[in-house]
Amino acid sequence: TQLLEQSPQFLSIQEGENLTVYCNSSSVFSSLQWYRQEPGEGPVLLVTVVTGGEVKKLKRLTFQFGDARKDSSLHITAAQTGDTGLYLCAGDGSARQLTFGSGTQLTVLP
Amino acid sequence: NAGVTQTPKFQVLKTGQSMTLQCAQDMNHEYMSWYRQDPGMGLRLIHYSVGAGITDQGEVPNGYNVSRSTTEDFPLRLLSAAPSQTSVYFCASSYSGAGNEQFFGPGTRLTVL
């Protein structure tokens, strides 16, 4: 079983601060996806990273895939209250299955 | 397009009862999957299907059955509900596999007493 560990599990910051969420594994993934989930809803895809060392930017969000394709990070610049939510990483590994991390619950305070 | 729909939204069962969670998608996606989400544990894969007539087990398949008779529908059956199956269940679909964007339904919150 391929495991993805996310850290931190909980993060509470003030609006305007920067933050980084980490997603680590000992396994290699073909690609890695980041989702955001709002209460009472299903996760929604933010980005997919495919190439080792790849960096993708989505407005104030920056996603990086590790060179060895075993880890990834999500950096948010100048967080806003609208960024509040559960952030999930998910790896596409072997056996046609998507493995999810345990999630980071982010709360941005006004 | 309605996307991925799930019914019911909420359900309470007694231990030992059986039920079927419904999932349907109208995007002609080949890949469909069922996850359960428990606090602090992210989403865990129960069963998945790569196309009509093909299903396979995920990480936590025990106590659940699935079938895929059509491309659109992927029901999840609980054979004999147990309190350990209390969870939020999400159905997802994607164009062709785990590496593609997963579109999730709104979830079913199940409580087993």
CA distance A15 to chain B (A): 25
A24 CB within 8 Å of a chain B CB: no
Mean pLDDT of chain A: 95
Q: Which residues of A47-61 are buried (b: 16+ CB within 10 A; e: fewer)?
A: bbbeeeebeeeeeeb
Q: What is the pLDDT of residues B57-88, one digit of tens each?
A: 999 999 999 999 999 999 999 999 999 999 99
Give the H or E element holding residue B18.
none
A104 CB within 8 Å of a chain B CB: no
Q: What is the rounded distance in angstroms from the CA atom of residue A38 to the CA atom of residue A30?
A: 27
CB-CB neighbors (< 8 A) of A4 in chain B: 42
Residue of A nearest to B44 (CA): A100
Q: What is the rounded distance in angstroms from the CA atom of residue B5 to the CA atom of residue A7?
A: 31
Q: Give me the pLDDT at residue B40, please.
A: 78
Instruction: Name the amino acid, one letter, at B106.
Output: P
SS3 assignment, position B83: helix
Q: What is the pLDDT of residues A30-84, one digit of tens each?
A: 999 999 999 999 999 999 999 999 999 999 999 999 999 999 999 999 999 999 9
The fraction of chain A above a pLDDT of 70, given in percent, is: 97
